Amino acid sequence: MNHTKGGLVIFTANSHASSRELGKRIAERLGVELGKVQVYQEANRETRVQIQESVRGKDVFIIQTVSKDVNTTIMEMLIMVYACRTSCARSITGVLPYFPYSKQCKMRKRGSIVSKLMASMMCKAGLTHLITMDLHQKEIQGFFNIPVDNLRASPFLLQYIQEEIPDYRNAVIVAKSPASAKRAQSFAERLRLGIAVIHGEAQDAESDQVDGRHSPPTVKTTGAIHPSMEIPLLIPKEKPPITVVGDVGGRIAIIVVSAVALLQEFGGRGLL
């Protein structure tokens, strides 16, 4: 194989074996070899990156999958991008099948919109193009000031269901929550199947429980403010128990979730 193809260089990080495996498959399909890079952690747990070949004037693609240590994954990506930028690469494209922190794309209580922070850091590091899949919310693309390709896995999942589930026409598409009903409906319409929705919520994590704080904060009236202008207190939501809306009795349930890890909440033994 040629080491490069028209000035193309592909690098992978080493936070997870899947990054290198994915990189090898892509390189084989393109007829090139993976670029030489050394990524390791020093004794103090700092990440160090050494690009071991010239990338001057070349188009660099950095492939990074997310491991359980998501923060190390992010730092590896950012440092590799910055190293290529300072080595005068012509363009730097990040390939992240899963965009980390994509679920934190809304302001909750006194939290922050971490997806926006991630986008800003990647652009500041020197990324010129991002390729990802099935963002938690499509609007996340607006956080970037560079082109973002949000690819979809649904065509492959639909094909898998039709080919690998013999009795799939007796199935029902189940949305994990009302928020994911739109995505589940897309699957149901293409497969000509019915849809059910899991309604209600489990007990909140400690970080999400009501702590008496409100946004915007409650403003107490003084003698200078008319009582009619007092801002009312927010009434806390009473979360109903988890129920399934729709007919799933005796049928194959295909659950549509935004992340595979969420299947553990339903006791899933096999992953699609």
Per-residue pLDDT of the chain in tens (272 residues, 90 and over written 9): 444 566 899 999 776 788 888 999 999 999 999 999 988 888 898 889 999 999 999 999 999 988 778 898 999 999 999 999 999 999 999 999 999 888 888 887 888 888 999 999 999 999 999 999 988 888 888 899 999 999 988 899 899 999 998 888 888 999 888 878 888 888 999 999 999 988 877 655 555 555 555 455 555 545 555 555 677 777 777 777 778 888 888 888 888 876 554 444 444 334 34
Confirm if 259 and 179 have CB atoms less than 8 A apart.
no
What's residue 198's pLDDT?
86
Tell the residue number behind the tokens 């207190």, with chain if given.
233
Q: Domains in the chain, please, with CATH?
A: 8-151 (3.40.50.2020), 153-272 (3.40.50)
Which one-letter amino acid corresponds to residue 149? D
> pTM (2 decimals)?
0.75
Task: Give the pairing of strands 91-96 and 129-133.
Answer: parallel
The angle subtended at Cα 47 by Cα 103 and Cα 60, nearest 5°, is 75
Confirm if 242 and 199 have CB atoms less than 8 A apart.
yes
Tell the residue number behind the tokens 């440092």, with chain if given.
79
What's residue 211's pLDDT?
52
What's residue 5's pLDDT?
60
Which one-letter amino acid corresponds to residue 91? S
Any residues with CB less than 8 A from the CB of 108 and at least 6 apart, and which?
208
What's residue 74's pLDDT?
92
